[in-house]
Structure 1
Amino acid sequence: MTGALRLEGLAISRLGVPLLALEAEVAPGTVLSVMGPSGSGKSTLLAAIMGTLAPGFALAGRVWLDGADITRLPPEARRVGILYQEELLFPHLSVGGNLAFGLPRTVRGRAARLARVAAALAEIGMAGFEGRDPATLSGGQKARVALMRMLLAEPRALLLDEPFSRLDAGLRAQVREMVFERARASGLPVLLVTHDPADAAAAGGAVVELG
């Protein structure tokens, strides 16, 4: 269980032109859905929280996570996980290798790391998939591996950048339910960016409209 994600007077501008302003708090285990048309700044908002704003963008206000001000921390120190539209599994690594990449350094020793990966695969119904090439997986399997790799890194918050948009309707509902269920079980505050009202409805939390 982690603490809340809080955006305090957050304002983003590009080349001096205001883009968005947001004040919000996301409690552990809940989802804040952010909706808006293309160009309204949804992905830029996620970049600000991740600490990866592109040159030309300026950030005012603060990002708090678990009671700590992370606004000026480098991305790798923030412990914020993110899932994108594409699974972004490493093609040169096996399924097991992809999951092992997410393990924190505190899990030491080959046997301990292999055991953690095996347990993670069993947890998502993919026991024995350690040696599989990611290219041979179905869309739903890739989504599950991407989610578990992110969770293995022990993030304190989860950002979702339209991760369900490329899935067909049936699979979309299944993966969406799995992601929200895992986030609730882990007590993670979640910020979801989406164009789809069905995603926001399934998330069950507050909805913010940009633009």
Structure 2
Amino acid sequence: MLEITNLNYRKAGFELKAVFRVQRGERLALMGQSGAGKSTLISLIAGFLSPNVGEIWFGGANLTQCDPSKRPISILFQDGNLFPHLTLQENLGLALSPRLALNAAMEAQISTALTQVGLRGFEGRRPASLSGGQQSRAAIARVLLQNRPILLMDEPFAALDPTLRREMAELISTLCHDLGLTLILASHDFTDAERMCNRVMLLTEGQITGDYPIAGLRAAPPAGLVPWL
């Protein structure tokens, strides 16, 4: 379980307060207006920011002062962060060996991850030769290779067209279910949240103002969620 305990972060007149828990395998969507604190909360959990007060726990371990690279967390960024001069095998290999000292077992892991996202046989391709959807799939494959139990996503598909958004959201949902990943998604799009998550938490000016099971929300939405439906 991921536990956020009495978290408080203050900077430049903005203050974020948060107390909540996310069970293993649960998929939580963070929603709210721009500036509400969604990305700040993601960055605090990832370790890119440090809270003024409070703690972040996972599986009995205190992560609050832990280096981001040592946390049981992988992050899927909006642009995928693929290096254009590297092949997909090399891009994905960075998740296993930062020096790209890949052995046969690692290469087999990469091929398996590419197969999982529908890119079998693409090991030798470079990002520029791929479509936007294929690049997104490659970024997802790299996340899988990190083999970490928590996946953070901050508007990961905002640049994709509606068809690709649906395709990527459904792929993420399937992988999270099959692998038992805990997902925290920051999004403005309630449809993306419905496709990937089973819970939604509303942030308003740095405060948690709602926390709901996602099932049935579209039919009977709380007032705070109406702008995104």
Q: TM-score, normalised by structure 2?
A: 0.82
Q: How do 1:125-144 residues align onto structure 2 when only pairs under 5 Å count?
A: 125-144=118-137
Corresponding residue of 2:42 = 46
The alignment partner of 2:29 has SS state of strand
- 1:95 aligned residue: 88
- % identity of equivalent residues: 39
Query: How many matched pairs?
Result: 203
Conservation of the 8 A alpha-carbon contact between 2:7 and 2:51: no
**1:85–1:165 Cα contact (<8 Å) kept:** yes
**Distance 1:13-1:110 versus aligned 2 partners, 3 A rule:** same
Moved more, 5-14 or 169-178: 5-14
For each residue in 1:179-204, what CA deviation from the matched residue of structure 2 results, as whole angstroms up to 9, or x when unmatched? 12111222121111001111222234
Whether the 8 Å CA contact 1:20–1:210 is kept in 2: the answer is no
CA distance in 1, matches of 2:177, 2:135: 21
Match in the other structure for 1:23: 19
- Deviation, structure 1 residue 122: 2.0
The unaligned stretches of length 5 or more in structure 2 are: 205-229
Whichever residue aligns with residue 6 of structure 1, its letter is E
| Distance in 1 (alpha carbons) for counterparts of 2:60 and 2:136 | 30
Q: Which residue of 2 aligns with 1:13?
A: 10
Asked if the contact 1:96/1:117 (under 8 Å) is kept, the reply is yes
Shift of residue 109 of structure 1? 5.8
Q: Secondary structure at the match of 1:126?
A: coil
Determine if the alignment matches structure 1 residue 117 to structure 2 residue 113.
no
- Identify which of structures 1 and 2 has the higher relative contact order when contacts are C-alpha pairs closer than 8 Å and 6+ apart: 1
* TM-score, structure 1 as length reference: 0.89
Distance 1:203 1:114, change over 3 A: closer
Q: Which amino acid aligns with 2:32?
A: G
| Structure 1: gaps spanning 5 or more residues | none
